[in-house]
Structure 1
Amino acid sequence: MPVIRHAQCRRSETPAGVMTTLASPTQGGAARAVWRVEATPATSGPLHDFDTEQVWTFLTGTATVELGGETFTIAPGDTVVMPPATPRRVTAGAEEGFTAVVTAAGGATALLPDGTVHGVPPWIA
């Protein structure tokens, strides 16, 4: 399917926010997944990893990104390239959270810090 209408986008809610799948292998047959993250203020996802690179472009708000033992303060317009096999955690700014657009290989697998395979998140499938 070459055109994915806004009404067809898949929404996945977590305690930290909403992920809206814009394209993925199961939504439009794309080889890469593209999704929007709308993070709730002062929340963070768990420390985790992925088996493939992710690229995050922050559109609004602020965040702190822990990536491979370093910590970065993120502002609108910043892009973070997250290599595979690099532990990461993204924490939304306390005032307004953030909105970002993210891309990764379709079917990317999340891993927990102990190496446990968490699986493919629904927004990447």
Structure 2
Amino acid sequence: MPVIRTADVASHQMHGSTFTPLVRPATGSSELCVWRLEVAPATDGVPHRIHREEAFVLLSGTVAVTIDGETGTLTPGDAAVAPAGSTIRLANPADAPATVLVTTTVGFTGELADGTIVNPPWVN
């Protein structure tokens, strides 16, 4: 069984958050992507439309997840699912970092409000 060690992957910074890829094509997956998302304290997050379904499980801290204008607060162990085509935003209103496990499918992309397509390196 292949093991993907956090120490062996490069993290990526975007919009005040750190994305650490774990499962993706570059690590042997053909269908799934999983990454650890660390959201800095007092981060508002950037709204973006997702082109594929995305699921979030909060591991530590607090995050507010907004999906198509509806906001819910996650505490550790809680999960949220955003359908393909929805507009999402993750915010950390707390004064401590939050850690989220995120999963989607290979080929995931997003779109910023200005129309810019984001093809995140942590899913390739």
Same fold (TM over 0.5): yes
* Residue segments in structure 2 that go unaligned for 5+ positions in a row: none
The answer to which structure has the higher helix fraction is: 2
Indicate the residue corresponding to 2:61 in structure 1: 61
For residues 71 and 5 of structure 1, what CA distance do their matches in structure 2 show?
33
Indicate the residue corresponding to 1:123 in structure 2: 122
* Residue segments in structure 1 that go unaligned for 5+ positions in a row: none
| Pair 1:88 & 2:100 matched | no
Q: Which letter does structure 2 place at the counterpart of 1:120?
A: N
Cα displacement (A) at 1:21: 0.2
CA contact (8 A) 2:67 2:88 kept: yes
Percent sequence identity is 36
| Matched length | 124
| Pair 1:72 & 2:72 matched | yes
For residues 96 and 46 of structure 1, what CA distance do their matches in structure 2 show?
19
Runs of 4+ with >4 A deviation: none
Which piece of structure 1 moves more, 93-102 or 35-44? 93-102
Aligned CA RMSD, in angstroms, stands at 1.7
Normalising by the residue count of structure 1, what TM-score does the alignment of the two structures yield?
A: 0.89
For residues 112 and 43 of structure 2, what CA distance do their matches in structure 1 show?
18
| Pair 1:99 & 2:99 matched | yes
| Pair 1:12 & 2:15 matched | no
